[in-house]
Amino acid sequence: MPRVIHRVPFPDRPLDSPPVRSRVALLFCLAATLAGCGGSSGSSERRLLIVVNAPFARSAYIGDTIAHGVALAVATLGPVQSKAAPYRIEIERLDDGLSAAQSVRNVRRAVREHAAAIVTDGTGVDASWRIANAAHVPIAIVYDGGLGLVDPKARPNVFRIAPTDHGIAFRLAEYLIPKGLKLGLLHDDSEYGDAGGKALDLAFRENPRSVALRETLPARAPDLGPQLVRARRSGATALIVWGGPATLASAVVAARSAGWDVPVYAPPSAEDPSFRQALAAHRGWIAGVTFASGRMTAELGPASFLAYQKSYVAAYGPQDVGVRTRAGRRVVQPPDYAMYAYDFVRVLAQALTQVDAPGAALIDALNQVDVRGANGDERGFNEASHEGVVDDDVYFARFTPDFTFEPVKDDPLSSTLPVIDQTR
């Protein structure tokens, strides 16, 4: 049975506190349930530590989603046999707090603890990758799609399984420019929003006539009314708002409360439950908001994703969004971003079977292997880009008045995708 250590070093909670111990016990039970019970681990097993460096306190949806994807993969894998010895995978959670400085401290700790790999949302990678690279530790980004984070030549230890900002932005341009819209390109001043703004600038560089204005929004502003007034006066007939869920909600509230029924388009952050929670009293305002993200299901159909989702829900329960449909049913979030963390761990395990031990050889092996992903697609890294999701896999989904979302019908890829049930 794989041994899973679940440590959450929040400053106000010691590692040996009762809440943490209870979560450790819970994950031991999870591993036993999914991997099957047997004798105790053999004494010849070596330890392989995966550190999850993510924002557990500041953004529980992102942090827990990543950690759950990693833990589910570990629990289903069991011990992994390298060329030299079997490895028992352990997991440690470290909270990056959406802070680059804290992320660097966490990576230093991971290196001191001889981590074999780091899985992260992407916070602080610009500042921390060198530390991990010097210790021959691969970093996997499974949320942030920012340009420049991944560069096989400059950052040989950094990989990504997540839709890229480049892919999201260019798909938005491809989708919206033919509609003849005048677009307001809005992004907030967070790290996530700034990266998205740069991607949008590149995507619309060849079509300046489609852009009515570009505007930077303050991420923590409670009211975006003045910025939305400027967008309206610019002649914008649609908005792309790239930022965190709070920014998205504030932009929608500012537009709709002023009587402006402008179409709103968003990046994957629109899936965060807090976006829908902020608009819980205004289901008519969220209806029609459209976001771009990586498709959940494969070309062969939804069977693989649904099987993976069933295992995820059995382990952690459904992710309650905190809102209800008009009929009173609970809305739940599909585990699509957990899928990326899950797939990385399985690719890592496959790479380990090709080498003697973690280290530089394992980083090289990550370029050479692939596995069947959670949604049924082949998952591996492009050796020339270190990306695990191709730009063509970006689809568009539109929110309904029930706070659920479904693929749009006016995009060739999206129109072929099934609607995944999101109610309980």
Alpha carbon of residue 178 to chain centroid: 29
pTM of the model: 0.89
CA atoms within 13 A on the CB side of 373: 27
**Fold identical between 18-163+336-392 and 165-298+320-333+393-416?**
yes
In 10 A of CB 410, how many CB atoms? 11
In whole angstroms, give the CA distance from residue 111 to residue 97.
19
In whole angstroms, give the CA distance from residue 239 to residue 37.
53
What kind of architecture, by CATH, is found in domain 18-163+336-392? 3-Layer(aba) Sandwich (3.40)
Domain extent listing, the chain: 18-163+336-392, 165-298+320-333+393-416
In tens digits, the chain (424 residues) has pLDDT values of 344 444 433 333 332 333 333 343 444 444 444 443 333 444 589 999 999 999 999 999 999 999 999 999 999 999 999 999 999 999 999 999 999 999 999 999 999 999 999 999 999 999 999 999 999 999 999 999 999 999 999 999 999 999 999 999 999 999 999 999 999 999 999 999 999 999 999 999 999 999 999 999 999 888 999 999 999 999 999 999 999 999 999 999 999 999 999 999 999 999 999 999 999 999 999 999 999 999 999 888 999 999 999 999 999 999 999 999 999 999 999 999 999 999 999 999 999 999 999 999 999 999 999 999 999 999 999 999 999 999 999 999 999 999 999 999 999 999 999 999 999 9
Closest CA relative to residue 342, chosen from 96, 66, 115: 66
User: In CATH, which superfamily holds the domain spanning 165-298+320-333+393-416?
Assistant: Response regulator (3.40.50.2300)
